[in-house]
Structure 1
Amino acid sequence: MNPEASRLWRAPRWALSVMLACLGMLGPFSIDTYLPAFSGIAAALQATPVQMQQTLSAYLLGFAVMNLFHGALSDCFGRRPVVLIGLAVFTGASLGCALASSIGELVFWRTVQGMSAGAGIVVSRAIIRDMFPPSEAQRVMSQVTLFFGVAPAIAPIVGGFLFVHADWHSIFWFLTAVGGALFVSNWRLLPETLHKDLVQPFHVGTLMRGYWRLCSSPKFMMLVLASGIPFNGMFLYVLATPVFLGEHLQFAPTEFFWFFLCTIGGIMAGAWVSGRLAGKMSAKRQIMRGFRIMVAVSLLNVALNLFVPLSAWWALPLIGLFSFGWALMVPVVTLLVLDQVPERRGMASSLQACIGSAANGLVAGVLVPLVMHSTVALAVASAVLMAVGLVAWYGVRRTIPA
C-alpha cells in the first residue's frame, strides 16, 4: 500500500471505488455491446458470418496480448499515464468503428479497441492495492467484481436497444461517448498512486525476467487459474445465450432478461457478501465457501440435465447460484495474486488478465460452438471449467496462511 494514500485521494473512498469499477467494466462491456447488431452490421457491410466473427476474435486477441503489458508499463511509468493513454486510444478506436465503411476497417479498429480496453481493468486492480489496506481492498475489489460480472449481461441489452431505435453505428458512438467521459473524469480526478520507491526501470530484459519469474512460480500460476477459469463456467452460458435461451428453453427475445436477471443477481449478491466478510473471515475459508457452492451447483446442474426435463424454473436459478459462488471467492483470490509480488503488482495484474482473457477467447471460439447445442454438454463443460479452478486452488491452498 502507498504510505501516502490518505493524501492522494481526499474525496470519499466510495467515489474512487466507483471510478475504478467503471474502468474495470470497460473491457467486458465493449465486447458484448455490439453482439445484438451482428446481423445488421453484416448486412450493411456485406460481410460473411466468418468475417463478422473476426471482429470479435480480433478484439479478444488484441485484449489478451496487450493485457501482458498494461500493468508492467504502469510499474515503470505510473498508473495514471497508462490509464489515460488507454482511454484516449479506446475512444479513438471506438470512433473509428463508428465511421467504418468496410468489414476490414471494422476488424482493424476492433483490434485497436481491444488492445486499449484492458488498461482499465488491469491497472485498476493495481491501484486498489496501492490505495487500500487488505480488508478494505477486498471490499473495493468486490465492487469491481460486481461491475465486471454485470457488464456482459447488461451490454447486449444496451446494444440491442440502440440497434433497434437507431442503427449499428449508434452502438460505437455510444462507446465513444463512454470512453470520452471516462477519460475526462480520470484526467481530472485520478491521482498517481504508484509510490516513487516502487517505480521500476523500463528495460526489456528486466520485464522478460519478471514475466519468467511469475510464469515459473507454481503458486502464482495456480492462483491465477483458480481465479480466472471458474468464471467461464458461467460465461459460456452468456456466450451461448441465443442457442441456450432461444432453442433449448424456447424463450422469445423479450424473455431473455430473466437469464440476465439471475446472472446479475448472483454476481451482485456474491460480491456484496464478499465485501461484508472482508476482515471477518480468513481468505482460505471464504474461497472454499465459494468453491463448495460452485461444486454443489455444478453436480446438481449435470444431474438435472441428465434425468429431468429441461425447465427454466431450475436451469436459470442454478446459473445464478454458480455466479454467486464465483463472485464470493474471486475478489479474495485476486488480491492473493497481486500480493505474490508486491513490488510488481502491475505486472502480476497484467499476467492474470492475459491468462484470463486468453481462456475467455478459447471458450468463446472453441468450446462454446462444440457444446452449445446440448444442454448436457453445456452443464458438463461448466463443471469441468469449475473443476480446473478447484484443482488449482487445492494445489496451492496449503501455502496460504490461515
Structure 2
Amino acid sequence: MSRPIDLNSRRAMVGIPIALAMLSMIGPFSIDTPFPAFAQMRAEFGASTQQMQLVVTTYLLAFAAMSLFHGPISDAVGRRPVIVVSVSLYVLACIGAAFSPNLAVLLVFRVLQGLFAGGATIVSRTIIRDLYEGDQAQRLMSRVAMIFGLAPAIAPVVGGLVLQVGPWPVVFWLMAGLGVALIVTTVLVIPESHPRERRTPLAVGQVVSGLGAVARNPAFARVAPAASFAFGAQFLYIGGASIFVVDVLGLGELDFWVFFAPMIGGMVIGSWISGRAAGRISGRRLVSLGFTVALAGGVVGVPLAVGAPEGVLPWAMVGPTLVALGNGMLYPTLNLMMLDLFPERRGAAVSGGSFLTLVLNATVASLVTPVVGESALGFAVTAVSMVVLGLLFWSWHLAIETRDTAVPRRPEELEPTDLM
C-alpha cells in the first residue's frame, strides 16, 4: 500500500501539476509532432496536401468520439486505471503507425492513436479539481495550462529534429517512448483522486444518463461552446500548421518554431496571468478580459494580413499570438466552471466539453482549413469569426447569470446553503 501524499506539500504542488501537464500534452503532441514529416510521407505515399491533412482529421475525429467515454469510465473505475490502460494501447498504436506501408494503414493507426490518447489528456483534467478547490484549483489548473501550452511549440520542433537522424517512422517511435514515460509517471507520481465511495456504476445506462445530464444543463450549453469557439480560433492555426507554415509563410520543416514559439508563448503568459489572478479578481471578470484580448488579436490580425505581403514575419504572427494570450487567460477558468457544474460527474463533464471542442476542431481541420488556408487573410478572418462566436456564448451566459442573481427567490426556493 502506497504512503499517503500530502497534497499541500511543495513536492505535490509542483510535481502533480507537472505530471498532469505531461499527460495532457499527449493530445496536442500527437497532432503536431508529425507535421515536419508530412513532406516525406507525402512523397513516399504519393499523397496530396489535402490527403495528408487526413492524418490530422482522422486522429481528431477518433479522439472526439472516444472522449465521450474516457471521463464517465473514470467516474466508475477511477482515474489512474483509465490513464494507464489507454496510454498502453496508445503506445501500441504508435508502433503500428511506424510500420505503416501506405497512407491507408497509417490512417488506421492514427484512428487508434486518437481513440486512446484521450485517456491521458481528458482524465488528467479532472484530477486537479478532484484534489483541490477554489483559488488553489485555479492556480494549479493554470500551471497545467502553462506547461500544456508548450506542447504545440515543442512538438513540431522535436519532430523536425528527429527527422535529421532518421526517416518519418522515427517520429512515431518517439511518441511511443513518450507514452511509456507517461505510464511510469502516472504510477509513481499521480495519486488516485476518485475514491471508491464516490464512483458511479460502470453500466451503459449510467454512462449515457451522465452524459445526458451534462448535455441538458443550460449553463453547460453556454459555457462549453464559449470555450470551444475561443480555443477553436487558436486551433485553426495549430491544426493547419503544415499549410500555414509551409504554404503561406514559405518556411521549411525546421522552421515550425517561428510560428509556434510566439503563439504558444502567448498562451503560456495568459495561463500565468490566470494563475496570478486567482483570488484577486473573479473568474467571470478574468474570462471577460481574456475574451477582450482574444478579440483584439482577431481584429488586429485581419488588417495585418491585408497590409503585409504573404509570408512576411513577424506581422503574420501578431494576431494568432494575441488570440493565444486571451485563450490562456480564459480557458483554465472556463474548464473549472464546467467541472463545478457536476461535482459527482466531473469525468462526464470534461468528456462533454472535450467532445464539443474536438468535433469543432476536427471540422475546422478537415473542412475549413483547406478552404481558407490559401492566404494569411483567410486564416485571420476565420479566427476572428470564431472568437466572436465564443464571445456571444459567454455574453449570453453572463446575461443569464446576472438576471438570475438580480431576481430574488421566494424562501421555499432557497437551498439550505443559501440560508447559512
Structure 2-normalised TM-score? 0.88
Alignment of 1:264-343 (within 5 A): 264-306=264-306, 311-343=312-344
Q: Residue 386 of structure 2 aligns to a residue in which SS?
A: helix
1:220 aligned partner: 220
1:346 aligned partner: 347
Paired with 1:350 and 1:97, the residues of 2 have a C-alpha distance of: 26
Note the residue ranges of structure 2 that are not aligned, 5 or more in a row.
406-420
Q: Is the 8 A contact 1:5 1:193 kept in 2?
A: no
Deviation at 1:53, TM superposition (A): 3.7
1:390 aligned partner: 391
Which moved further from structure 2: 44-53 or 276-285? 44-53
Q: Is the 8 A contact 2:69 2:207 kept in 1?
A: no
Q: 1:243 to 1:203 in 2, by over 3 A?
A: closer
Q: Is the 8 A contact 2:245 2:256 kept in 1?
A: yes
Deviation at 1:92, TM superposition (A): 1.2
The answer on 1:169 being equivalent to 2:169 is yes
1:355 aligned partner: 356
Report the AA paired with residue 150 of structure 1.
Answer: L
The total of aligned residue pairs comes to 399
Report the AA paired with residue 334 of structure 2.
Answer: V
1:371 aligned partner: 372
Deviation at 1:360, TM superposition (A): 0.8
Deviation at 1:154, TM superposition (A): 1.9
Q: 1:300 to 1:112 in 2, by over 3 A?
A: same
Q: Deviations over 1:169-209 (max 9, x none)?
A: 11111111110111122123322110333210122122222
Paired with 1:255 and 1:203, the residues of 2 have a C-alpha distance of: 48
Deviation at 1:52, TM superposition (A): 3.7
Structure 1-normalised TM-score? 0.92
Q: Deviations over 1:137-172 (max 9, x none)?
A: 111211222233321222111111112321111111
Q: 1:316 to 1:134 in 2, by over 3 A?
A: same
The answer on 1:262 being equivalent to 2:262 is yes
Paired with 1:37 and 1:252, the residues of 2 have a C-alpha distance of: 11
Report the AA paired with residue 29 of structure 2.
Answer: F
Report the AA paired with residue 144 of structure 2.
Answer: V
Note the residue ranges of structure 1 that are not aligned, 5 or more in a row.
none
Q: Deviations over 1:31-79 (max 9, x none)?
A: 1111211232243345565654433322112101110000000000111
Paired with 1:9 and 1:269, the residues of 2 have a C-alpha distance of: 25
The answer on 1:38 being equivalent to 2:38 is yes
Alignment of 1:81-160 (within 5 A): 81-160=81-160
Paired with 1:251 and 1:34, the residues of 2 have a C-alpha distance of: 16
Percent of aligned positions with the same letter in both sequences?
Answer: 35
Report the AA paired with residue 362 of structure 2.
Answer: G
Paired with 2:52 and 2:282, the residues of 1 have a C-alpha distance of: 46
Report the AA paired with residue 98 of structure 2.
Answer: A
Report the AA paired with residue 188 of structure 1.
Answer: L
Which moved further from structure 2: 51-60 or 171-180? 51-60
1:67 aligned partner: 67
